[in-house]
Amino acid sequence: MANTIPGVLTLVEPTGDEAPVVFDSPHSGNEFPADFASIVPEHRLRAAEDAFVDDLYAQAPALGAALLSARFPRTYIDPNRSVTDLDQAMIEGDWPDPLAPGDKTVKMGSGLIWRTCYPDLEMYDRKLTVAEVHGRIESYYRPYHAALAARVNALHERHGKVWHVNCHSMPSVSSAKSPEGRAGVERPEFVLGDRGGKTCAPEFTELVRGTLAHLGYDVRLNDPYNGAELVVAYSAPAAGRHSLQIEIKRALYMDEEAIERNAGFARLKADLARLIAAICDFARNAKFA
């Protein structure tokens, strides 16, 4: 069964034997809100999209896990940033709420509301009003977080434990603004982010790493991505709440310039079904919270 807020999110409930697992894809949305009004063409904006990631994990409900996907683009408002991670210089007048812009906001222009898009394109030819930004937060950001929190909390209440997998893709080669600090660095096929072991039990990170490695993939931990707001916000391993970010190298499954699935898509999706099944079995049988 799918629960949908049009243009905002889709939550597909498990159809198989329920496991205490939820997958979320916060950056695969490409339904552009009418009030976006960016001066960057849509095709260029889509370079920031984790295209087709929601489809790659679409088998999750049949295998026992919930799947939450954003429908809106991350360049409109990014659910994987803190609500305080906002650039005051983008806003007309004084922002009335607390501000704590992070490094990506300051250096890359990619905080809660993006200032620039890849490679260095200004998103707007004006400042945004306080009402506009509040509208994006209340109509898109908060419903997405509320849906994820409700699902995580319900699973934890029923099972006493919950595993949250935050699903992303990454450009195959770094840019000048990337965490590597320079352009042209070839990425591994998978990067797992657990904030250096802080957001989930090490046994879970190892289960995912080992499963992917057994399937023949090159897997790296916390480099160059170690997890952002969504794994931080919904993790508390000591309380049985485990969150792990998974980044997939886009060349494995898509033509990054054309934004189209490539010949590798079917194989990767089949391998991810094996990973999802392994995660669900692990979560059902884990002897620790």
DSSP-assigned letters across all residues of 37-70:
--SS-HHHHGGGS-TTHHHHTTTHHHHT-EEEEE
- According to DSSP, residue 98 is labeled -
Q: Measured between alpha carbons, how far apart are the two ends of the chain, in Å?
A: 28
Each domain of the chain, given as residue ranges in start order, spans 2-79+132-285
Tens digit of pLDDT for each residue in 71-127? 999 999 999 999 999 999 999 999 999 999 987 777 788 899 999 998 789 999 999
Question: Does residue 52 surpass a pLDDT of 70?
Answer: yes
Tens digit of pLDDT for each residue in 186-244? 899 999 999 999 999 999 999 999 999 999 999 999 999 999 999 999 999 999 999 99
- What's residue 1's pLDDT? 64
Percent of the chain with pLDDT over 70: 99
**Residue 45, C-beta contacts closer than 8 angstroms, at least 6 positions apart:** 32, 38, 73, 75, 117
Query: Which superfamily does CATH assign the domain made up of 2-79+132-285 to?
Result: Zn-dependent exopeptidases (3.40.630.40)
* 0.85 surpassed by pTM: yes
pLDDT average, residue stretch 254-272? 98
Structure tokens at 163: 């595993």
Question: Does residue 254 surpass a pLDDT of 70?
Answer: yes
In which residue are the tokens 């501000």 written?
99
Tens digit of pLDDT for each residue in 120-178? 899 999 999 999 999 999 999 999 999 999 999 999 999 999 999 999 999 999 877 77
- Per-residue pLDDT band at 32 (split at 50, 70, 90): very high
- What's residue 107's pLDDT? 74
In DSSP terms, which residues pair with 192 in a beta bridge? 221, 246
Mean pLDDT of the chain: 95
In DSSP terms, which residues pair with 168 in a beta bridge? 247
Question: Does residue 66 surpass a pLDDT of 80?
Answer: yes
